Each structure stands twice: as structure tokens, then as C-alpha cells.
Amino acid sequence: MTMAAHDSSARWKTFFLEAKETEIFTLLSKQSITPTLYVPFHELEAFDPDFAEDILQFPREILNTGKETLRQICRERGEELDVILRVGELPRDSRRAIRSIGSADIEKLRSSDVQVIKISEIKPRMHIAVFQCESCGVSQEIAQNNERELIEPIKCPPTDQGGCGETAGRGGATRFNLVFNVSRLINNQWIEIQELPESVESGAQPGRAKVLIEGDLVNKHLPGQRIVANMIPVVYSEVIKNKKTPMFDIIYHLISSEHESVPFTEIKITDEEEEQILVISKREDLLRLMQNSIAPSIYATGVMNFVKRSLALQLFGGVSRKNPDGTRTRGDIHILLMGDPGVAKSQLLTYVSELSPRGKFASGGGVSGAGLTAAAVKDSFADGRFSLEAGILPLSDRGLAAIDEFDKINSDDRSVMHPAMEQQIIHISKGGITASLPSRCAIIAAANPKAGRFSKRAANTSVLRSFSETGLPPPLASRFDIIWMMRDEVRAEHDEMIAKHILRSRTRGVPEALIDEYMADDPQEQDKDLILKEGVDGTDHLTPAFLRKYIAFAKRNYHPNIDKDVMALILEYYVQERQSFSREDQEDGESNVVPITARALEALIRLTEAHARMYLRDNATVEDAKVSLAVFKHWRQEAGIEDESEYSGVSVKQRNTTTIISQIIRDICAENNNQASITSIYNRSIAKKIDEATVDNIIQKLRQGGQVFSPRNDVYSMA
């Protein structure tokens, strides 16, 4: 042990009196239940670099000495306090992955980026035990530094120190009794931690560890939280059949922890990268660039362009807000991809989950309700009680959860998704535990039809009618902000371009065997420092590493507000959609049909905020609202979903046709002085596959409802 460790008491005293006078005064005023002094490592390093280095090498002895020195200072000032000393914010060179902590790190101070996955109940631990000699009644204090066994005195103090000098045990003349009410206890708790998923290599199992925490750190951690844990690895001999073995278990004593108050701190952005992000954000074609950057290896035709655009908006997300009445409105955008097999749904999900900071991927066939929310498992902390282990949704808190094969999750397990998606909190009552876990994550799900492919009937009806073919419950549909229907349609011109794209992408890939044998570079590593890259089809896209930084920077620094103009635009669309069928519904005696719900209104706001955040704006503009309306209208209208009739049980097709004819008349009137001839209406209707008899019936209904009038024969105008 170095000199610094031997004379640590004097060094601590100088440090406390020179640098921590104010904090000591606060401790003496007894403002906290557990008196704790927190010392950032950089303060110690600035004060005495050698001493700071020794704390990393011999933390237990030096921190115990520091604690005693601090108690002595408090005692001299008239207060007997059980002070706890915590050192935090350790240097980067002391950081280790849990899996790599071994013999060289034992009894050293180390830090690790981890996620809490399980916590135990509080257990009081005696840290200063007082024993009384039965023969002479003299008491003595013994510090209990080992939580595995209670250390008892062997001998009473000699007579010159007031004792009788007798020994305990066999042949001894006395025994020692524990005086419980004078001994001092401290709260302890076990937690289980796991390495962060993004720092674990593919194929490797994330390291897990049991950590003992005490004092003011108890009950400060929840399953799913990310922390930097500053701890001392300690070894205990494994016991097999009541015999000790030469193998040792490592457990950890937590010295301090730093919670991540700012999201995405795991993504480091340099000043130079920040400037590059600001330059990219000024590009006029930013939205198309972002769209192209989502899974560039997937060729986009038709609806795929809009799917990629909506996924880009989902990655940026809206702004979550807390209201004065305690309610919360979510900012995360949920998207459902329904489609035939082979339309690249899984590939999109995998890409987005890897791209998103804190993204998680699960497949419906291999995930249970407990795996999605939390499992109540028998406690491995040796007391046999149940404790909670967080699942996919709590672990991707403040991130994104991609759930493939959504339709394969059984119905009981799927019901847990309802509150997780809307309220973004999971209420759990399992194994005698009632708890709530936050799940503030965006969800992207993919579902296949039960019959293998969507029917032809589904191709001609609404998204929600197609939704029923997946076997998912209708209430789940309203929780998704956007639902895309991706069909595998045979179109010669598209098929050829997709095939060429796939063949080009295949030839540009690097064989995995060569990468594993270090005979070729990993293409992802090569692109790490690039910003823009050209795809096989000649279009530019951002590299995944840079896009991830762009998203983290935007989400960390920009929280767009919505102004009156934007509100007016969204409101106008919402009211117009709500009213579009009201007259007809009243005629049909269906006045309770809701064409668009309030959830859709919130979805529009979220999409608007996401677009503004993409452009790094503090205030959303009318342009942002127009893009969000365009994306929203596209999935509703292209699939013929003008109302959520799945919830009202009214046929969609008839209502959709009415809307299309209304829109045709409105368009022709706008072009020709508010006059539309029946011939031009017929012509445009035929293009939409609506026959003349249907047109005549609908015009008749619109006239009865007062929405259309006829100034002269075969000419119509909007009311």
C-alpha cells in the first residue's frame, strides 16, 4: 500500500476543511434523514492527484478512513452522526464492462454503464454492533463490514480499560450478548444489473451482477433504469455441500451511482459533428434525405416511400407533455405495418430498432406477456420472495420497441399492449407484487394476415377491414397513429426495378467469412466517419452512425411548440373530417358514427412536432403541419379509410364512394366556376372504378342532403 493510503486520514481532513466546509455545515444542520457527503472524483483529483489515484486502487480502506475522519470532524463540532461518504463521477479509464471485470479488478473502484433489471426488498443491516460482557457488564463496539457474517468479540477488554479480560467460547469464563437497541442499523438492498444491450457484441450474453446498496441509495433505483454504477467488486468463496471451494463469486458494493437525467447520453456528439448536423438540417431536401436513409437497401416504390417517411418521423417523435391536472400526453408515434409475406416488413423493423438510440427488437412467436412487460420471478437474492424483472417495453423506455409477428402473440399477452401504448405505463399485479413501470417508447409492429396473404376483398376495402384479417382486436387499431397496408402486387415496371436493386445490393456486400477472418473490413466500420453515402440506385443517404447522432441531438435539444396557425390547420382538417358524413349519417339513422377520433387529432400533432424536430425547429410551422396531414391523409385515403367504421359496425365501402364523388364534384367546381357537368363527373368516376348508376344514386343523396344543387339540367354545384 502506498504512502497516500497510510496517511489518508490527514489528507481527508485537509480536503474536508478546505473544500467541503459548506457541505459539512449542512450535514450538521441535520437536513437529511441519512447524512451523506458526495464528493465528485474530479474535485479530489484537482486537490491531490496521487491521493485520488490511490482511492481507485484501495477504495475500501481509504473510504472507511474518510468516513471516520468525517465523523470525527462532526464529533468535534458537537454532533454524533453516522455519516456516509460517497465518491462519484469516476474517470473514463476506470470504466469496465461487467463481463470483463475479473481478478485484476477485485477490491478496486470501478464504474460501469448498466441497466437495473431487478430490485429486492429493503433489509436492515447492522453496521456497528454493541456487545456486552456477561461477567462485568462492559460494552464494546465492533464495526460490521462483512454482510455475510456477524463478527462477535472474542475477549473482554483488560482490567486497565475497565473490562475483565475474560475470553468467550470453549473454556472461556464469559459470553457476549448483542445489545440491539444501542447497535446501529443501516438499510440495505440488493439489485441486479445488466450491461446495456447496445454495448454487447452479437452472440455474446450480456454480463449480469448482484449489487449491494445501502443508506441513502436504497429505493433510488427502478427496473429498466440506466445508471452509471461506481462500485467495488468483492469476492466470496463458493460453498458446495457446506464446504468452501477455491472458486469465488463476485458481488459488488455500490459506492455511488449517476442516473441518466438527459436522454441519449450514451451517444457522444463532438462540436464538429454538431456543426455538420446544423448544416444538414438546412438542406431543402431534408425530408427526402431522411426517407432515403431508412433502410437504403430496400427499394422504395409506391407506398414504401410513405412508409419510410413515416418511420423517419417516428424516430424523431413528438413531444411528451405533462398537464397541470397530472395527466400526460404521449409524444411517441406508434406505427403498424400490415402486409403480405416478403414485402420487407421485418427488415424495416430490424433496421429501425438498430438505428434508434435504445431500440429493442422482439418477435411475436418468441415473446410472452411477461417478456413484453415484466416477469415476477423467484428472487435470486436468497430470500425466496418474488421480484420483478423488466421486459422489452420497460427496457426500451425513452427509446423504440420493434415487435415483429405481432399477430402471433397470444391474445392474453397482447392485452397488456393497450395501456402500454396509450398511457405508456404498465401496471403489474403478479406474485403478490403490485407495481407500475414506465414504457415511454415508440412501438413499431408488423403483422401478417391469418390466411398467409391478404384477400382480394381486403385489397379493395379499408385498412381497418384488412386489419380484421390479421386477427388483431379492433381497439388495438386506434392506438396506432399510422397503419400501413403493404401489398405484394405484380407490376412489371416495379418488379424489374426491385429485382435490379436487390441484385446490385447483393454484389456490393462483403462476404461475412472474410470479415470474421479479418481478411476484409466490416463495411459498417468503414462508414463510421462518413456523413453521406451513395446508394446502389445513385441517391444519397445519411450513414446509420451519423443519422443516430442527428436523431439524438434533435431529441435532446429541440421540443417544438405548436402555434395558432398550425392549430388552425389541424383543427380545420379534423372538423371537416368529423362533419363529412354527419348529414348522411343522420339520414341513415347512424348519427353516432365517428369518422375520425380524438386520437387521430393527437397523432397529427405528434407528426407535426416530429417534422419540426427533424428540421431542428423550436416552433412548428404550417409547413410541418402540411407534411403531417399529407402522411396522415395518405394512409387513410389511399386505403379508403374515411372513417373508423370498424368500431361502429357500418359498411365502409358505400361511405368511401360518397366521399370520392363529393371530392370529384368539388374539384371540378373549383376548376369551372363552381359548375360540374355530369359528363365530367362520370369520366372521373370511371377512372376510380365507380359506375354511372352509383354516381346517379350518390348525387341524388347529396342533393337531398343539401350538399349539392343543380342550377340547370345535368350541371351541379357545391352548396
Burial degree of 537 (CB within 10 A; 0-12, 13-18, 19+): middle
Number of structural domains found in the chain: 4
Instruction: Report the CATH number at residue 240.
Output: 2.40.50.140
Chain CA centroid to CA 307, Å: 22
With beta carbons less than 8 A apart as the criterion, state whether 167 and 174 touch: yes
Domain identity same for 587 and 531: no
Question: SS3 of 624, please?
Answer: helix
Is residue 42 a part of any domain in this protein? yes
Domain identity same for 574 and 533: no
Question: Which grid cell is 426?
Answer: 404498465
Distance CA 150, CA 185 (A): 13
Q: Provide the pLDDT for residue 594.
A: 37
Q: How far is CA 559 from CA 193, 308, 523, 623, in A?
A: 32, 23, 34, 17
Is residue 309 a part of any domain in this protein? no
* Cβ atoms within 10 Å, residue 306: 18
Q: How far is CA 500 from CA 49, 418, 496, 506, in A?
A: 62, 41, 6, 10
What is the total residue count of the chain? Answer: 719
Domain identity same for 103 and 247: yes
* Residue finishing a domain among 514, 530, 556: 556
Domain identity same for 113 and 230: yes
The closest alpha carbon to 613, from 557, 655, 693, belongs to 557
Place of cell 468516513: 67
Is residue 432 a part of any domain in this protein? no
Distance CA 604, CA 610 (A): 10
Read off the amino acid at residue 175: R
Return left, alpha or beta for 382; rule: phi > 0 is left, psi -120 to 50 is alpha, else beta.
left
Distance CA 8, CA 318 (A): 52
Q: Provide the pLDDT for residue 315.
A: 86
Domain identity same for 63 and 131: no
Is residue 523 a part of any domain in this protein? yes
With beta carbons less than 8 A apart as the criterion, state whether 552 and 357 touch: yes
Domain identity same for 575 and 646: yes
Domain identity same for 581 and 702: yes
The DSSP H or E segment spanning 676 is strand 676-677
Distance CA 77, CA 28 (A): 8
Question: Which grid cell is 513?
Answer: 467469412
Partners of residue 211 on adjacent β-strands: 191, 252
The closest alpha carbon to 265, from 617, 553, 560, belongs to 553
* Cβ atoms within 10 Å, residue 478: 19
Distance CA 487, CA 177 (A): 79
Q: Provide the pLDDT for residue 129.
A: 87
Question: SS3 of 173, please?
Answer: coil
Is residue 438 a part of any domain in this protein? no
Question: SS3 of 166, please?
Answer: coil
* Residue finishing a domain among 55, 89, 123: 89
Q: Provide the pLDDT for residue 156.
A: 83
Domain identity same for 698 and 599: yes
With beta carbons less than 8 A apart as the criterion, state whether 707 and 662 touch: yes
Domain range for 274 is 262-293+506-556
The closest alpha carbon to 389, from 135, 219, 191, belongs to 191
Domain identity same for 665 and 681: yes
Q: Provide the pLDDT for residue 26.
A: 80
Rg of the chain in Å (alpha carbons) = 33
The closest alpha carbon to 417, from 465, 473, 352, belongs to 473
With beta carbons less than 8 A apart as the criterion, state whether 619 and 563 touch: yes
Q: How far is CA 139 from CA 128, 177, 248, 336, in A?
A: 12, 9, 36, 70
Domain identity same for 243 and 113: yes
The closest alpha carbon to 397, from 360, 446, 353, 351, belongs to 360
Is residue 370 a part of any domain in this protein? no
Domain identity same for 115 and 204: yes
With beta carbons less than 8 A apart as the criterion, state whether 375 and 389 touch: yes
Q: In which residue ranges of the chain is pLDDT below 70?
A: 1-6, 31-32, 171-172, 198, 202, 224, 260-267, 299-302, 357, 365-370, 378-385, 387-388, 431, 451-452, 454-466, 468, 488-509, 512, 514-539, 579-596, 637-656, 719
List the Cα angle 251/399/330 in 5-degree steps: 125
Helix axes 622-638, 564-579, angle to 10 degrees: 20
Question: SS3 of 394, please?
Answer: helix
Exposure class string for 190-205: b at 16+ Cβ within 10 A, else e: bbbbbbbeebeeeeee
pLDDT in tens, 49-83: 888 888 888 888 888 888 888 888 888 887 777 78
* Residue finishing a domain among 54, 89, 124: 89
Is residue 169 a part of any domain in this protein? yes
DSSP designation for 715: E
Is the C-alpha dihedral spanning 468, 473, 476, 478 positive or negative? positive
Is residue 321 a part of any domain in this protein? no
Domain identity same for 543 and 665: no
With beta carbons less than 8 A apart as the criterion, state whether 505 and 536 touch: yes
